[in-house]
């Protein structure tokens, strides 16, 4: 994005310092805004996921209710597949921890894409389906369903 390598953006979004990205953010309003929205969504998703984790009942209705609370923020814009994946990871973190969430999404991503090309929308849906299953078997069915629903609610565009 804007001449900065996607890998550098991802590392930065993951919390690694990067002078090139930081310098760009100081002068580019568009990227700063995207970053702020992404951070806000990550925080909202983490919060909703931890509420769900701590909730006694995890019925379908309850999951819908939790998701509605953060869908407004998610629906506001389209995300690149990388950004969307990062958002789904935020949702997983309260259930299985940051490290496992990262490993799980990376493994599923590798399994879901035969080439290294960007996702089209069918590819994204396939990834979300696989991730939902993988999450369900590791973190339980509530987390799996939550990730599946959230993944399909995200507007994903090709990077």
Of 47, 117, 42, which Cα lies nearest the Cα of 87?
42
Q: What is the DSSP letter of 157?
A: -
Among 10, 18, 31, 55, binds Zn ion (CB under 5 A): 31
- Toward Zn ion, which CB reaches closer, 33 or 120? 33
Spatial distance between the Cα atoms of 150 and 71, rounded to a whole number of angstroms: 8
Helix (H) or strand (E) holding 156: strand 155-156
The answer to the question of residue 28 lying near Zn ion (CB under 5 A) is: yes
The answer to the question of residue 25 lying near Zn ion (CB under 5 A) is: no
The answer to the question of residue 4 lying near Zn ion (CB under 5 A) is: no
Count of residues in contact with Zn ion, rule CB under 5 A:
3
Of 68, 16, 61, 62, which Cα lies nearest the Cα of 45?
68
Give the shortest CB-72-to-Zn ion separation in angstroms: 25
Residues at the contact surface with Zn ion, assessed by CB under 5 A: 2, 28, 31
């Amino acid at each position: 994005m804007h001449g900065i390598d996607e890998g550098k953006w991802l590392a930065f979004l993951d919390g690694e310092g990067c002078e090139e990205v930081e310098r760009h953010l100081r002068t580019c309003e568009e990227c700063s805004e995207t970053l702020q929205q992404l951070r806000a969504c990550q925080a909202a998703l983490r919060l909703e996921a931890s509420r769900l984790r701590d909730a006694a009942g995890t019925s379908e209705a309850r999951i819908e209710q939790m998701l509605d609370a953060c869908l407004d923020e998610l629906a506001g814009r389209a995300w690149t597949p990388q950004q969307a994946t990062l958002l789904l990871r935020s949702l997983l973190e309260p259930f299985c921890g940051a490290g496992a969430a990262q490993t799980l999404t990376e493994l599923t991503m590798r399994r879901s894409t035969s080439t290294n090309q960007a996702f089209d929308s069918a590819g994204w849906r396939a990834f979300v389906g696989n991730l939902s299953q993988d999450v369900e078997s590791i973190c339980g069915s509530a987390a799996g369903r939550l990730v599946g629903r959230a993944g399909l609610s995200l507007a994903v565009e090709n990077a």
